Structure 1
Amino acid sequence: MSEREPESRELSFVSRERGPAHDDDDDDMLQNGRSLPPTDRGRGAYVSLACCTVAQVPIWGYSVSYGIFQEYYSSSKSGIAGSPGSFATIGTSQMGIMYLMMPVAFLLLHRHPRLRRWCGPLGLLVTVVSLVSSAFVDSVGGLIATQGVLYAVGCGLLFSPISMYMDEWFVQRKGMAYGVMWSGKAAVGVAMPFVFSALLDRFGLRATLLSWTVASVVLTCPLLFFLKPRVPLPPSTQARPLSFEFLRRAPFWMMQLGIAIQALGYIMPSTYMATYASNIGLSSVSGPILVALFSFASIPGAVVHGVLGDRISATAVILISSFGSAVPVFLLWGLSRHFANMIVFVLVYGFFAGGFSSTWSSMMREIKRDDSSSDTAVIFGMLLGGRGVGFVLGGPVSGALTTARGALSEESLGYATIYGPMILCTGITAILGAWGSYWKLLNKAASQGFSECLPIRHP
């Protein structure tokens, strides 16, 4: 059986760094006397990618639109008493739990792959129970329990096996696949807030939640039917061995630290953009438009960064995303308060920052190269946990930053508003999101000389 050898030639840090693509399966691998379907191409791979992308609608549709529900809960229409902070806790709990449970879920499903076929249906059942229950609760505590905790667990159980199946089907084009998947989430962020806003205004909270329950079931059931694993389940029920060697290596933790820092700042523009637009005197429709444009720009951003991750090194693609995110924050958001400039800002920032999660495939490739016995899906779950840490910290940090100034300035600079400290934090965290790249370049400079770190190597 032929094996693909990693490319040994490296053209500075922008060259493609490839290691073993997956655990022990390849395009021409035989199992039980039968050849496995090809990776990266063919009907099975594309069906898996399509199912995984469409699945982002029921998984993330409510989470990315929670700002609409938070506004509704805070109004007199909901009939639910609570402070704005208590309603915000529902959304932060939901997003935080979804991400923080990923490392445990991915580890468990890797060790016991037979659980994957039941994990998706169980997740759907949990989401249905949580949504139906939340439609009939009348307290903040009930909403936190149903929407903040139970719904997050259900969506996490749905996301985990679906992502692991896609990871099996794509090896050399893994970055492209993850980019398309994340673009599906971004597309949800464009459309669903407007859909939920219209439903709440016309039918009210209970009808909206129940209709979303039905839509989630209708969307998810066909996906669970058509989505199949590439590698057949082993006949033995014995737990799979799992290597944690990559956790003992510095590269993983440097990249994980960068992910957490980037997530801390990334959540701020999308969370406060609508409020910022209102406070600086823009029209009431400006905020939702800016948020929608941010998500819209993330669609091509996710795909482009994913494709780049398949072609160039993790160091390069992370730096592109980080500096591409930081520049518009400092120059467009911080130095102006005009609507036209804000449109340019959300488009540029959304493209580069929205593509950051698609760079993870290149990180996974580098980590896999250092520890060939590790599983890329498990690494992906760990990286999701790092993002969850950043999101959880981002809520209280952003709240503290917006209260650092006492009043809204009349000056034309975004830095002069009460959001000035938050703008600076967003730009700085975007730069520090490439922490793993900086660490790698410094190590390379220390061991091989500064010239080896330049984009163009001298002969």
Structure 2
Amino acid sequence: MTTITTGSSTIPPPPLPTDEDARGGDSPSPTVQTAADPSQLALEPVTPSRISTFDFGDGEDSAKALPPVDGGRHAWQFLAASFLLEIFVWGYAFSFATILVYLQSHDPWQQNSLSALSAIGTTQLGLLYVLPTFAVVVLRRYGEYVRLVQWTSLVVSCCSMFLSSWATQLWQLVVLQGFLCGVANTLIFAPVFLYFSDWWVARRGMAWGVIGAGNGFGGFILPWLINAVLEAKGSAWMCRVWTAFTAVTFAASIILLQPRIPFVKPTDGRAPWLAVDWRFSHNPVFLCMAISTLFASLAYLPVANYLAVYAASFSSSTMTINLVVGLFNLAACGGCILVGRIADYSLTLGLTLVGLCGLMLSLTAWGLADTLGKVYAFAVLFGLTGQQAAASAAVTKDLSLNSPQTSTLIVTLLAAVRGATSLFIPVVLQALYDSRHAKEAPTFGKYGFLRMIVFVGAASAGLALCGLLMGGLRRKYAIKSN
């Protein structure tokens, strides 16, 4: 390879443009414009910058400066739009417990069993977890249709929720709110996965934590709002009010959610369906992260699902129960950012701390909680420290060679692990909760929660062990760029 010599230094020529620089390829690096006169290289000092250029490939002098990664107005705009979508896309599914309580006691829904009514929220939540893996693959290949898919999905989601306000049978709610809203909301949110790795690289864990904090924020504020509308106007008007809220929020988020690298439709055929480096799939680092995600879900979901039941053992006040759940979700909001930031610094430290904190809190703060004040304390502490999901994006730096396609697939696969766990965990929890001893209050494990508390502690210990193993695995098996 020839070189250009300037003084005492030798500078290689700039790389030539490739077809992979378009969005359809596997390389995340945009094309660099070359100088017309090589001698100009001696006159311009080379300075590092987070700003790069993108060549539209039309043969013209049309290179466009790209916004910087890991900061800047456009990157934070993307994060704000993603945060809003997180609140309302996931908010209904995670607030469904509030709706379920109402449906159980009002016609025509109270004639259905609890498990049958739960199918509405479970269907939507399962789709939100599992579908992104497939949605991202399709939208990455046909990037010119992303906006059309989002706006169409907004119409489908809002119309389905609006029509459900006239539903009179359970299957109608399952189809309209569970299935159609689940699919549509997944497609609205999918570009967050699609564009995330382009906007955030070095601070990926922190950024993913900010997005995940929207889940906790929504879990804090939405149950209060939904419950207020249900009590004042009933479920039909709740569906109509929710439609209006989501229509405005989704529209604003879609407008703000912009890709960093413009999509250029390839002229010589589409890229492969899965243009990823599949070495990560059997890499011990990924397998350890997947197992840690399973353990984290087994530890977190019992608390998230049954904390309200435990609080009800101390007080029958709806306000008190909602406050416990609200504090838990609000603490989770800050915990996502905290754990994500720690994972950026050290993934091993982040996983280990989440596991150890879960182990200690479940066996002490929860196991020995004998007053409502102690339940409040446990809710805040566990919500703050239990956010292993915020570390999902940080592991991609060891597995993806900075490929956005591979990074996105890794994050969606880890989300699918959490989704699969959420589908079978209700059956496990029903077996762990001993309703026969719901009135008993021994020193440890009160009100029939002994087995569940021990289960959460054991799952947290497994997560901590995965965290300790992750350090050695990363040093040995992390995929390094050449």
Question: Normalized against structure 2, the TM-score is what?
Answer: 0.82
- Tell whether 2:140 aligns with 1:120: no
Structure 2 contact 339–388 (Cα < 8 Å) conserved? yes
- Tell whether 2:280 aligns with 1:246: yes
Q: What is the distance in 1 between the residues matched to 2:155 and 2:224?
A: 26
Q: 2:312 aligns with which of 245, 261, 278?
A: 278
Q: What is the distance in 1 between the residues matched to 2:212 and 2:251?
A: 21
Q: What is the distance in 2 between the residues matched to 1:382 and 1:118?
A: 25
- Tell whether 2:145 aligns with 1:140: no
CA deviation map 1:79-110 (0-9, x unaligned) = 55201111122222221221011221222223
- Tell whether 2:367 aligns with 1:338: no
Q: 1:212 aligns with which of 220, 227, 242?
A: 242
Shift of 1:221: 0.9
- Tell whether 2:371 aligns with 1:348: no
Shift of 1:197: 0.4
Query: Which residue is equivalent to 2:422?
Result: 391
Secondary structure of residue in 2 paired with 1:330: helix
- Tell whether 2:29 aligns with 1:24: yes
Distance 1:119-1:326 versus aligned 2 partners, 3 A rule: farther
Q: 1:377 aligns with which of 387, 402, 408?
A: 408
Q: What is the distance in 2 between the residues matched to 1:282 and 1:191?
A: 21
- Note the 1:54-133 alignment, pairs <5 A: 54-79=84-109, 81-133=111-163
Query: Which residue is equivalent to 2:226?
Result: 196
Structure 2 contact 366–375 (Cα < 8 Å) conserved? yes
**Which one-letter code corresponds to 1:426 in the other structure?**
V
Shift of 1:315: 1.3
**Which one-letter code corresponds to 1:94 in the other structure?**
Q
Shift of 1:401: 1.2
Backbone CA RMSD of aligned residues: 2.5
Q: What is the distance in 1 between the residues matched to 2:262 and 2:114?
A: 49
Q: 2:328 aligns with which of 294, 297, 305?
A: 294
**Which one-letter code corresponds to 2:392 in the other structure?**
W
Distance 1:226-1:442 versus aligned 2 partners, 3 A rule: closer
Structure 2 contact 88–218 (Cα < 8 Å) conserved? no
Q: What is the distance in 2 between the residues matched to 1:284 and 1:307?
A: 35
**Which one-letter code corresponds to 1:361 in the other structure?**
A
Query: Which residue is equivalent to 1:9?
Result: none
Q: What is the distance in 2 between the residues matched to 1:261 and 1:210?
A: 38
Distance 1:155-1:71 versus aligned 2 partners, 3 A rule: same
Q: 1:43 aligns with which of 45, 66, 73?
A: 73
Query: Which residue is equivalent to 2:300?
Result: 266
**Which one-letter code corresponds to 1:277 in the other structure?**
A
- Tell whether 2:359 aligns with 1:326: yes
Secondary structure of residue in 2 paired with 1:142: helix
Instruction: Report the more deviating stretch, 186-195 or 79-88.
Output: 79-88
Shift of 1:36: 1.7
Q: What is the distance in 2 between the residues matched to 1:173 and 1:118?
A: 30
Secondary structure of residue in 1 paired with 2:393: helix
Q: What is the distance in 2 between the residues matched to 1:436 and 1:269?
A: 21
Which structure 2 segments of 5+ residues have no match? Answer: 1-10, 13-26, 31-48, 56-62, 478-482
**Which one-letter code corresponds to 1:333 in the other structure?**
W
Instruction: Report the more deviating stretch, 194-203 or 169-178.
Output: 169-178
Q: What is the distance in 2 between the residues matched to 1:387 and 1:308?
A: 21
Instruction: Report the more deviating stretch, 374-383 or 286-295.
Output: 374-383
Structure 2 contact 162–239 (Cα < 8 Å) conserved? yes
Instruction: Report the more deviating stretch, 194-203 or 111-120.
Output: 111-120
Q: What is the distance in 2 between the residues matched to 1:438 and 1:397?
A: 27
Secondary structure of residue in 2 paired with 1:368: coil
Distance 1:226-1:277 versus aligned 2 partners, 3 A rule: closer
Q: What is the distance in 2 between the residues matched to 1:197 and 1:244?
A: 46
Q: What is the distance in 2 between the residues matched to 1:367 and 1:394?
A: 29
Which structure 1 segments of 5+ residues have no match? Answer: 3-21, 449-459
Structure with the greater alpha carbon radius of gyration: 2
Query: Which residue is equivalent to 1:13?
Result: none
Structure 1 contact 243–373 (Cα < 8 Å) conserved? no
- Tell whether 2:397 aligns with 1:365: yes
Structure 1 contact 39–169 (Cα < 8 Å) conserved? yes
Q: 2:438 aligns with which of 383, 408, 415?
A: 408
Q: What is the distance in 1 between the residues matched to 2:444 and 2:86?
A: 34
- Tell whether 2:447 aligns with 1:417: yes
CA deviation map 1:53-90 (0-9, x unaligned) = 11223212211210111011100355552011111222
**Which one-letter code corresponds to 1:102 in the other structure?**
P
Structure 2 contact 352–465 (Cα < 8 Å) conserved? no
CA deviation map 1:119-162 (0-9, x unaligned) = 32232122113212321211222222222222111111111113
Shift of 1:343: 0.9
Q: What is the distance in 1 between the residues matched to 2:413 and 2:177?
A: 24
Question: Normalized against structure 1, the TM-score is what?
Answer: 0.86
Instruction: Report the more deviating stretch, 74-83 or 270-279.
Output: 74-83
Q: What is the distance in 1 between the residues matched to 2:231 and 2:460?
A: 36
Q: What is the distance in 2 between the residues matched to 1:178 and 1:109?
A: 20
Structure 1 contact 126–153 (Cα < 8 Å) conserved? no
Q: What is the distance in 1 between the residues matched to 2:429 and 2:409?
A: 30
